[in-house]
Amino acid sequence: MGEHVKFATKLGIIATTVGSAVGLGNIWRFPYEAGMNGGGAFLMVYILCVLVLGIPVMCAEFIIGRHSKSDTVDAFRKLRPGSRWHYIGYIGILASVLILGYYLVISGWTLEYLFRAITNDLTGKTAAEFRAEQNAFIQSDLRPLLWTYIFLFINYIILSRGVQKGIEKMSNILMPLLFVILLVFCVRSLTLPGSSEGLSFFLHPDFSKITPQVIIRAMGQAFFSLSLGMGILITYSSYFTAKTHLIKTATTVAILDTSVAILSGIIIFPAVFSCGLDPVAGPDLVFVTLPNVFNQMPVSALWSTLFFLLLTVAALTSTVSLFEVSIAFLINYLNMSRKKATRIMMLVIAVLSTVSSLSIGSWSDIRIFGKTLFDACDYFSAIILLPVGGLLISIFIGWFLKKNISREELTNRNKLHEPLFSAIFFCIKYIAPIIIILIFLSGFGII
Ligand code: TRP
């Protein structure tokens, strides 16, 4: 193998990492989780999780990735030869495959809605019609599958072109576009009549609503949204250069990602309240409630097109990152060409997403622990695997890797004066593991 690939530019590093973080998790999952779990209370717990768990665990992944310059399995092998730590890498690959299984289905839905918005098929309908159409669509089996495969194919084109020409180039174009669209929406939403009620639901924490359930869901959401706990950031940071400032990158990514989540809430809740709709709608919030909201605005086709374009862009840069975990592993470990590795992953995910898409449609009777296959994938990966991955990664860095390696990486071999080093290391070593364990114990009713 030749020289390990690198991202070409500083912008590329931020754009790809933020691109991985900002996704359906921010715009689709965050608002409905917040809506169902207490609004402002959820937001507050969420922000705390990002600060005390998110940023330190992200730094931990960066340390592992850049130091080992390898995929998520091999990275642990290089850092602790002969140990079993590389199983963390396998957990990560499992989590990424499970997430992709349903993430691509939702991405397929966004393409359907983008298509319907462009062809002006989302105007002049009642709330009941939007609901009926969404139900008919997801249960029609074939149509959602078709969109999922199209989305897979777009991923294939980007991923097979490689790190710099594919992933980095796409992010450099799409991420600025995403931020521009978001800003336009914010202005639009805040100038709607009656927006203040929605804002107060979303921004005012009602402390009595904070329960162990709310906390465990907020933690899962934070890991999911920041793309933590499964090694994607180990993989991406292996493409960072020796000059990349790791702590600064981690804080920038966390701030941008959290801003997008908050902006999505600011866009969605005022609009929902201003149209007299229910914020507790669950996963259908953006597909049923929002088209209905746009419908009541002038030039609604434009708004819905822009919104679903935003969602598609966000989804694409994230699915690419989810794929890259296993692709990098196959390239490194089995010495495969990038094309072949990409094709194999496409095939695996095509099968899995077919099953999970059908599990919402005609196979919805199949249940695992009372959940549809689709929900089970989501719950098991986001709420369980990611925090467990984050827990193991922080224990590894805090207790098993020489502290000097962490110092070297976070200070770029002492070239940077890094006043935050001790605080971040303390969080990785003590705070993150203790808090993750406590949240699990209380979320599952053990304490
Ligand atoms: N963070 C992305 C989102 O918010 C999803 C995602 C991409 C992800 N890569 C990941 C989640 C890795 C967990 C782990 O939509």
| Segment among 85-89, 146-150, 176-180, 278-282 with least mean pLDDT | 278-282
- Quick: pLDDT tens for 311-349: 999 999 999 999 999 999 999 999 999 999 999 999 999
106 lines ligand 1 (CB under 6 A): no
pLDDT at position 36 is 86
Quick check: CB of 221 below 6 Å from ligand 1?
Answer: no
Distance 57 CA to ligand 1 centre (A): 14
Tens digit of pLDDT for each residue in 218-276? 999 999 999 999 899 999 999 999 999 999 999 999 999 999 999 999 888 887 887 77
Each residue's pLDDT tens digit, 212-234: 989 999 999 999 999 999 899 99
Residue with the smallest CA separation from ligand 1 atom 6 is 227
% of the chain beyond a pLDDT of 90: 67
Q: What is the mean pLDDT of residues 297-310?
A: 90
Q: Compute the distance from residue 191 Cα to the ligand 1 centre, in Å.
A: 31
pLDDT of residue 281: 67
pLDDT of residue 139: 85
Contact between residue 233 and residue 227 where contact means Cβ atoms under 8 Å apart: yes
Q: Mean pLDDT for the chain?
A: 91
From CA 326, how far away is CA 94, in angstroms rounded? 9
Quote the pLDDT of residue 282.
67
Is 251 close to ligand 1, i.e. is its CB under 6 Å away?
no
* Test site for ligand 1: of 159, 227, 377, 384, most ligand atoms within 8 A of the Cβ: 227
Residue 433 has pLDDT above 80, yes or no: yes
For residue 233, give the ligand 1 atom closest to its CA.
12
* CA distances to 106, 117, 174, 332 from 283, in Å: 10, 19, 25, 37
Per-residue 3-state assignment (H helix, E strand, C coil) for 38-95: CCHHHHHHHHHHHHHHHHHHHHHHHHHHHHHCCCHHHHHHHHCCCCCCCHHHHHHHHH
In this prediction, residues 104-133 reach a mean pLDDT of 92
pLDDT digits (tens, 9 = 90+) for 375-420: 788 888 888 999 999 999 999 999 999 999 999 999 999 898 888 9
Q: What pLDDT is stored for residue 32 in this prediction? A: 85
State whether the beta carbon of 321 lies less than 6 angstroms from ligand 1: yes
Phi, psi of 355 (to 5 degrees): -60, -45
pLDDT in tens, 327-337: 999 999 999 99
For the stretch 277-290, pLDDT in tens is 777 766 777 888 88
Ligand 1 pocket test, candidate residues 88, 151, 318, 385, most atoms within 8 A of CB: 318
**Cα(121) to centroid(ligand 1), Å:** 30
More confident position, 40 or 297: 40
Q: Which of 402, 356, 399, 398 is nearest to 376 (CA)?
A: 356
Pocket test for ligand 1, best of 263, 322, 380 (most atoms within 8 A of CB): 322
Q: What is the pLDDT of residue 107?
A: 96
Instruction: Tell how far the Cα of 78 is from the centroid of ligand 1, in angstroms.
Output: 25
Atom of ligand 1 lying closest to residue 315 CA: 15
| Cα distance between residue 117 and residue 8, in whole Å | 36
* Any ligand 1 atom below 6 A from CB of 342: no
Residue 316, both tokens: 């694409």
The pLDDT tens digits of the residues spanning 51-89 come to 999 999 999 999 999 999 999 999 999 999 999 999 999
Q: Is the CB of 24 under 6 A from ligand 1?
A: yes
Q: What is the pLDDT of residue 1?
A: 43
Q: Where residue 184 falls among pLDDT bands split at 50, 70, 90?
A: confident
Ligand 1 centroid distance, CA of 275 (Å): 31
- Note the pLDDT of residue 2: 47
Give the pLDDT of residue 418: 84
